[in-house]
């Protein structure tokens, strides 16, 4: 009986945590994948491997803002 109660409480706790998570829609997931690919390309293939990741991320965000990309969802991640 104690084992069933413990398992039930654990299941309820896990469900509670999963409800709080937000999923990306397909368009947002593609945008995030594109930005990730750009980051990896800059870091590995363009000679930016000596720059800190934060500087590369700032440059990508600046570029996206200049092109009026919607970054609201990405900034919440």
Q: What does the domain layout of the chain look like in residue ranges? A: 23-77
Phi, psi of 10 (to 5 degrees): -65, -45
pLDDT in tens, 8-53: 777 666 666 655 556 677 877 787 788 888 888 888 888 888 888 8
pLDDT at 76: 55
């Amino acid at each position: 009986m104690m084992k069933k109660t413990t398992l039930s409480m654990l299941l309820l706790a896990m469900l509670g945590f999963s409800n709080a998570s937000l999923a990306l829609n397909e368009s947002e997931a593609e945008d995030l994948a594109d930005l990730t690919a750009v980051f990896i390309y800059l870091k590995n293939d363009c000679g930016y491997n000596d720059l800190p990741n934060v500087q590369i991320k700032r440059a990508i965000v600046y570029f996206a803002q200049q092109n009026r990309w919607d970054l609201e969802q990405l900034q919440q991640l």
